[in-house]
């Protein structure tokens, strides 16, 4: 079997694996394998193929890491943040931890502003 076909198969396998994981690192390795395949197709020898693939892989990993630092995923808030919950009781009032019900499940929630909860409890007590 030709060497460029082995590199090509490895590249496709890595790109398919990337579709499952979604990390972009396997995509970079797949592109590096494609670069090794292109080098092999030109018949430049195994060590040149390996060095080309390694260079593309290292440069790609640094590029992905740089992109992740520039736009951290912490900016993507969870869909549950800020949703309305039902206050049940204080788990630890001193630490600002309350027991709440959300989506029919009990959770411990960190309270950001205790005054808002006190106001909400007073309004809830007034309603019939």
Q: How many domains does the chain have?
A: 2
Shared domain for 118 and 61, answered yes or no, is: no
> Is the pLDDT reported for residue 125 higher than 60?
no
3-state secondary structure of 47: helix
Shared domain for 32 and 64, answered yes or no, is: yes
Query: How does pLDDT run across 9-64, given as a tens digit for each residue?
Result: 999 999 999 998 877 889 999 999 999 999 999 988 999 999 999 999 999 999 98
Count Cα atoms within 13 angstroms, Cβ side, for 74: 3
The answer as to whether 77 is a domain residue is no
The answer as to whether 79 is a domain residue is no
> What is the spatial distance between Cα 105 and Cα 11, in angstroms, rounded to a whole number?
45
The rounded radius of gyration (Å) of the Cα atoms in the chain is 27
Q: Which domain holds residue 101?
A: 86-126
The answer as to whether 98 is a domain residue is yes
Shared domain for 32 and 68, answered yes or no, is: yes
Kindly give the residue spans of alpha helices, DSSP state H, lying in the chain.
3-21, 25-41, 46-70, 114-126
> What is the spatial distance between Cα 58 and Cα 50, in angstroms, rounded to a whole number?
12
The answer as to whether 116 is a domain residue is yes
Point out the domain boundary residue: 33, 50, 72.
72
The answer as to whether 52 is a domain residue is yes
- Please return the burial class of 35, using the count of CB atoms within 10 Å of its CB with bins 0-12, 13-18 and 19+: buried
Shared domain for 18 and 48, answered yes or no, is: yes
Residue indicated by tokens 């912490």: 74
Is the full-model pTM beyond 0.85? no
Report, as an integer, the average pLDDT of 120-128.
51
> Is the pLDDT reported for residue 112 higher than 80?
no
Q: Hey, which residues does 100 pair with through a beta bridge? A: 87, 107
3-state secondary structure of 79: coil
């Amino acid at each position: 079997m030709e060497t460029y076909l082995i590199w090509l198969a490895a590249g496709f396998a890595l790109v398919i694996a990337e579709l499952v994981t979604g990390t972009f690192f396997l995509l970079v390795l797949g592109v590096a394998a494609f670069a090794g395949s292109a080098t092999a197709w030109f018949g430049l020898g195994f060590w040149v193929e390996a060095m080309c693939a390694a260079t593309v892989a290292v440069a790609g990993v640094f590029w992905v890491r740089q992109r992740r630092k520039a736009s951290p995923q912490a900016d993507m808030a969870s869909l549950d943040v800020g949703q309305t919950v039902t206050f049940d009781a204080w788990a630890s009032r001193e630490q600002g931890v309350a027991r709440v019900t959300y989506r029919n499940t009990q959770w411990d929630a960190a309270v950001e502003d205790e005054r808002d909860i006190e106001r909400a409890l007073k309004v809830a007590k007034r309603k019939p």
